[in-house]
Amino acid sequence: MVYAWSHQRKKLQVVRWCDKVNTVVIDTHAHLQWNKFDGDRSEVVKRAVDAGVTKILTLATDLQSSYRVVELAEEFAEVFAAVGIHPTDAKNAQSIDLQRIAELAQHPKVVAIGETGMDLYWEQESRAIQEYYFQQQMLLAIEKDLPVVVHNRDAGEATLAAIFALKNKKLRGVFHCFAEDETYAEKVVQLGFYISFTGNITYKKSPLPKVSSSVPLDRLLLETDSPFMAPIPQRGQRNEPVFIKHIAEKHAEIRGLSYDEIARQTSENAQQLFRFPQ
């Protein structure tokens, strides 16, 4: 039996997918360095691993957290790291940070640059700075032969334009927490990028199931974005990688496929993109 701590109910509750331990899934987007995990980080990783989440990619948002995610990747066999500067942190970054991030990217468990991208929802004034750091991190990803993990919030056109400018340079990556429409998804796929949806795909009245069904299955990844965006039935609680099962179940339901098919294909996709060392 697998249990998870319910912050809402203040007790351990049974996680119902314990029969799916043999089907492995990969959480391609979490922030395990967040202080919300300080009290029980080892248990969070163990709960996920016990439930078949064999790999958890944990992403930095600035230089300091880039050091931290590498430490976590060294501490836990199943944890891998992405180093980079989040668009909402770009205004606090310095050019030297990019140099340090480039050094950290040499680490064998660093499998991506990110998260990077553009955010004009929280940050409109820093647009030019965001664009600069996004471009620099994409160039770094190309140089290191690593994928970029792209955050786009209310910056659809600017994000695509920045990627399009480098499209002949063997850039690969994923649009995480996808919240655009089908037309946009098609453009992303045409650029050779992958797409992942967080727990928001499980929310009632969400238009995302329809968008998701338009994405070719070989371009789909699974992610939680822990500790944010917990899926139903954990919505409103702290999210953690073990809850990825609800997102996989939703994709299976949307596409009329089995849970195993979704798990297998998305794990294969994640391996293709991130090239996790075996």
Binding site for Zn ion (CB under 5 A): 225
For residue 1, the minimal CB distance to Zn ion (Å) is 30
Long-range contacts of residues 15-21, Cβ cutoff 8 Å, at least 24 apart:
15/47, 15/51, 15/242, 15/245, 17/51, 17/245, 17/249, 18/51, 20/51, 20/52, 20/245, 20/259, 20/263, 21/50, 21/51, 21/52
Give the residue with the Cβ less far from Zn ion, 61 or 136: 61
| Distance in Å, CB of 225 to Zn ion, minimum | 5
- Give the residue with the Cβ less far from Zn ion, 35 or 95: 35
Nearer to Zn ion, 89 or 225 (CB): 225
**Nearest distance from C-beta of residue 115 to Zn ion, angstroms:** 5
Q: CA torsion 13→17→20→24, rounded to 10°? A: -80
Nearer residue to Zn ion within complex by CB, 131 or 225: 225
- Cβ of residue 128: shortest distance to Zn ion, in angstroms? 23
Is the Cβ of residue 23 or residue 65 nearer to Zn ion in the bound state?
Answer: 65
Is the CB of residue 225 less than 8 Å from the CB of residue 29? yes
Least Å distance, CB 29 to Zn ion, is 6
27 or 225: CB nearest Zn ion: 225
Burial of 273 (0-12, 13-18, 19+ CB in 10 A): buried
Q: Please report how close the Cβ of residue 176 comes to Zn ion at its closest, in angstroms.
A: 6
* Residues 63/93, Cβ–Cβ less than 8 Å: yes
Burial letters 118-145, b for 16+ CB under 10 A, else e: bbbeebeebbebbbebbebbbbbbbeee
Taking CB atoms, the residue at the shortest distance from Zn ion is 225
Cα 116 to Cα 159: distance, rounded to the nearest angstrom: 10
In the complex, minimum distance from the CB of residue 185 to Zn ion, in angstroms, rounded to a whole number: 19
Q: Which amino acid makes up residue 166? A: L
- CB-wise, 59 or 242, nearer to Zn ion? 59
CA distance 186 to 217: 13
